């Protein structure tokens, strides 16, 4: 029987049937008034998911990487200095993108499994008396290591040092799943992607910008054409698009935002935390631990599981797919063979998570891991029964 099992990678995520139907539509005229009547309120409602009242939102046909390029190319000039931490694969890729654009990147190297280096940022910003640093890059949720960093702490440092640098945040694997407070954290550009918390196919970079970032666009001199935010924002205000949009994805995004708001953003965040905690309890029952070095850094969208010596994470992921038809995330970078990753975001429930935990156990047992079948499932079940009942009482 040809059947699609749930996937447990940190994106793309499982797509609800409701969203598949929304994206399965005949061709439509994006120049017709109906498109504008859909687009304008959608851009306004997306701000709620970003935790903003005032940001302007743009949708680009691209992945999150296109959102990264949008952030820097619209606000910076060749040779501008920026500050960034390298603590995982995706922070490294954003740094590389900036360097290719001729930016002067001051990089703080951190151990993988650590979060953003707040103390190091404080020292560097305090020493930057001439305010040469124009922007600080921050990956909110580093999926390579399962680490979620404190963006509010970065803003606190910037404010304490009275530093005018803009704050750019990669929220690709957090926005729509984890608590994100764009206004409260003083984020100037935030980037999300359609394939994560929004539960759609890959293909939309969702970019939100502050007044400060919009002002920076007027003097920025990095080249931009396809990713020109000024054109995109201006068209969006009028319910238009400067070029041919991915209409089916935007229709899906319309329905996705409706689903998130129907559930309630706080409830979405609470559900992700509950599911993630069950996965972490399963990992502990296996005698293993997350790659994230401190509980305060644990991500609620992906858990990177460090494996016992002598076991290869890539072999485990390949075996689970070949034998049981279930996908987990491979390790990335220098930790490629040391771990595997369980994604638990988007369309995810306690029951779906239990399927992922149970299948991982079978795959590990097949490969001779020192675990007892059912140990992780039981630990998660014990937690989900209690936490799930408490959530149902709160929503009643």
Strand ranges of the sheet holding 329-330, from the earlier edge strand across to the other edge: 289-290, 302-306, 339-343, 329-330
Q: What is the pLDDT of residue 388?
A: 83
| Closest of 182, 159, 162 to residue 170, by C-alpha | 182
Structure tokens at 26: 């005949």
- Where do the DSSP E strands lie in 171-281? 189-193, 204-209
| Closest of 246, 256, 254, 257 to residue 203, by C-alpha | 246
Q: What is the pLDDT of residue 1?
A: 47
Angle, CA 115 vertex, CA 63 and CA 345 arms, to 5°: 45
Q: How far is CA 306 from CA 111, 271, 336, in A?
A: 15, 24, 10
CA distance 103 to 105: 6
Q: What is the pLDDT of residue 391?
A: 82
Query: 360: which residues sit within 8 A by CB, 6+ positions away?
Result: 8, 320, 328, 340, 342, 376
**Low-confidence residues in the chain, pLDDT < 50:** 1
| Closest of 147, 180, 109, 145 to residue 295, by C-alpha | 147
Q: What is the pLDDT of residue 3?
A: 67
Q: What is the pLDDT of residue 309?
A: 95
How many CB atoms neighbour CB 354 within 10 A? Answer: 19
Query: 141: which residues sit within 8 A by CB, 6+ positions away?
Result: 147, 148, 149, 170, 171, 172, 173, 174, 178, 299, 301, 302
Q: What is the pLDDT of residue 310?
A: 96
- Taken in order of first residue, the domains within the chain and their CATH numbers are 17-262 (3.40.640.10), 264-395 (3.90.1150.10)
CA distance 148 to 344: 14
């Amino acid at each position: 029987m040809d059947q699609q099992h749930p996937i447990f990678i940190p994106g793309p995520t499982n797509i609800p049937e409701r969203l598949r139907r929304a994206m399965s539509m005949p061709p439509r005229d994006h120049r017709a008034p109906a498109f504008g009547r859909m687009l304008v309120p959608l851009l306004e409602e997306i701000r709620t998911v970003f935790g903003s009242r005032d940001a302007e939102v743009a949708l680009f046909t691209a992945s999150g990487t296109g959102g990264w390029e949008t952030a820097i190319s619209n606000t910076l000039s060749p040779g501008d200095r920026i500050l960034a931490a390298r603590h995982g694969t995706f922070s490294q890729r954003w740094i590389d993108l900036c360097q290719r654009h001729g930016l002067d990147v001051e990089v703080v190297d951190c151990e993988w499994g650590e979060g953003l280096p707040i103390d190091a940022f404080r020292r560097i910003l305090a020493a930057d008396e001439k305010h040469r640093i124009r922007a600080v890059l921050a990956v909110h949720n580093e999926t390579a290591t399962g680490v979620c960093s404190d963006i509010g702490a970065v803003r606190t440092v910037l404010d304490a040092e009275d530093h005018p640098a803009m704050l750019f945040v990669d929220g690709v694997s957090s926005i729509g799943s984890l608590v994100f407070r764009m206004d409260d954290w003083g984020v100037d550009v935030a980037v999300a992607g359609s394939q994560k918390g929004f539960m759609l196919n890959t293909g939309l970079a969702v970019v939100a910008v502050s007044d400060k970032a919009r002002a920076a666009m007027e003097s920025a001199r990095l080249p931009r054409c396809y990713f020109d935010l000024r054109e995109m924002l201006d068209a969006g205000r009028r319910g238009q698009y400067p070029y041919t949009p991915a209409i089916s994805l935007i229709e899906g995004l319309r329905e996705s935002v409706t689903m998130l708001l129907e559930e309630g953003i706080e409830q979405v965040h609470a559900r992700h935390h509950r599911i993630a905690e069950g996965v972490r309890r399963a990992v502990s029952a296996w005698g293993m631990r997350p790659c994230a070095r401190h509980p305060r850094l644990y991500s609620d969208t992906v858990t990177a599981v460090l494996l016992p010596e002598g076991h290869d994470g890539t072999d485990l992921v390949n075996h689970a797919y070949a034998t049981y038809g279930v996908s987990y995330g491979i390790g990335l970078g220098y930790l490629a063979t040391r771990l595997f990753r369980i994604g638990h975001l988007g369309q995810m429930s306690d029951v779906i998570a239990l399927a992922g935990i149970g299948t991982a156990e079978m795959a590990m047992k097949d490969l001779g891991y020192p675990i007892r079948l059912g140990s992780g499932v039981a630990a998660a079940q014990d937690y989900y029964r209690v936490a799930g009942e408490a959530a149902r009482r709160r929503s009643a």
